Amino acid sequence: MMDGATPHEEALEAVVAAYGEAVYFARAEVFEDMCHERFQMTLIDGDGATFWDKAAYLDRVRRRSAFPGEASYGVFSIDVAGDEIARAHLWVDVPPLRYEDHLGFVKVDGQWKLLTKVFRTMGPALEAKA
């Protein structure tokens, strides 16, 4: 937790931690609630951009199995603007790869909702340094 964090920042930190664990352990039910109905995910790679909506993302998560051991992710930064928008920059392992995620959040009915995810492959899981 950040020193001197506001309640909005603390709430977002908890959501980001839940995100990291949900990715690692393939918990689609977490994303069902966390993701905004207009959620958009974008992969950036050598072929350009690939896009998924919320339903397609949930399907991808449901098709994988949880990984063993402790969740493997780390947060680079969290930035809250006022009490209605925020972003998080983190890495998360989905073995055999490590991904860099840039997440955009909006506040809806008092809850942080994941609206955008733009990500890329960083390298092999557990070998890349945060």
Task: With respect to residue 30, please indicate whether it lies within any of the assigned structural domains.
Answer: yes
Task: With respect to residue 97, please indicate whether it lies within any of the assigned structural domains.
Answer: yes
Residue 8 pLDDT grade (very low, low, confident, very high; cuts 50, 70, 90): confident
Distance of CA 129 to the CA centre of its chain: 18
Task: With respect to residue 43, please indicate whether it lies within any of the assigned structural domains.
Answer: yes
Domain containing 71 — which CATH number? 3.10.450.50
Task: With respect to residue 61, please indicate whether it lies within any of the assigned structural domains.
Answer: yes
Angle made by CA atoms 10, 35, 107, in degrees to the nearest 5: 45
Residue 129 pLDDT grade (very low, low, confident, very high; cuts 50, 70, 90): very low
Please report where in the chains the tokens 């209605």 appear, as a residue.
Answer: 84
Residue 9 pLDDT grade (very low, low, confident, very high; cuts 50, 70, 90): confident
Number of domains in the chain: 1
pLDDT tens digits for 32-46? Answer: 999 999 999 999 999
pLDDT tens digits for 69-107? Answer: 999 999 999 999 988 999 999 999 999 999 999 999 999
Task: With respect to residue 38, please indicate whether it lies within any of the assigned structural domains.
Answer: yes
Task: With respect to residue 2, please indicate whether it lies within any of the assigned structural domains.
Answer: no
Task: With respect to residue 21, please indicate whether it lies within any of the assigned structural domains.
Answer: yes
Task: Report the alpha-carbon distance of residue 126 to residue 121 in Å, rounded.
Answer: 13
- CB 32, CB 59: distance < 8 Å: no
* Domain interval for residue 95: 7-124
Q: What letter does residue 109 receive in the DSSP assignment?
A: T
Task: Report the alpha-carbon distance of residue 53 to residue 30 in Å, rounded.
Answer: 16
Distances 118 to 6, 42, 57, 70, 100 between C-alpha atoms, Å: 26, 5, 12, 24, 8
Share of the chain above pLDDT 90, in %: 85
